[in-house]
Amino acid sequence: MEEEEEEARALLPGGPNEAGRGAPVTPPAPGALPALCDPSLLEHRLLVLLLMCFLGFGSYFCYDNPAALQTQVKRDMQVNTTKFMMLYAWQSWPNVVLCFFGGFLINCVFGIR
């Protein structure tokens, strides 16, 4: 019952779709989302941008972690620089191949038909 009232309230004149068109501004409904959860506000967009930047940082950190551990890996595994770089390259090659495999899956298998 409450869900139907909330849906109907959003369709009434002066709702969020008509804001800024000369329609009277109505106070937010009880249980309305805070500013950081409303995608139309600048604060929400900045928060999402910040989180997306951290996502890229974390991905790069995990991907490039073996380079930071080069000294320890060479010492513990008793390999020289050439063998370590070959190991590092083998760690990177699946990312090259999986791009094409993932692209094929998205375009031909899971894509819009």
Considering the domain architecture, whether residues 94 and 55 belong to the same structural domain is answered as: no
Residue 70 shares a structural domain with residue 105: yes
- Structurally, the chain folds into a number of domains equal to 3
Query: How many angstroms separate the Cα of 30 from the Cα of each of 2, 11, 25, 36?
Result: 11, 16, 15, 16
Q: Tell me, yes or no, whether 18 and 5 share the same domain.
A: yes
Residue 31, sorted as left (phi over 0), alpha (psi -120 to 50) or beta, turns out to be left
User: Cα separations (Å) of 84 from 77, 91, 105?
Assistant: 9, 11, 33
| CA–CA distance, 35 with 26 (Å, rounded to integer) | 16
Q: Give me the amino acid identity at 78.
A: Q
Angle between the 81-104 and 70-77 helix axes, to the nearest 10 degrees?
110
Residues 39, 79, single domain; the answer is no
Predicted confidence pLDDT, tens digits, the chain (113 residues): 666 666 656 555 555 554 445 555 566 566 666 656 778 888 888 888 898 888 878 777 777 888 889 999 999 999 999 999 998 888 888 888 888 998 888 888 887 76
The answer, as to whether pTM is greater than 0.85, is no
The boundaries of the domain holding residue 97 are: 66-113
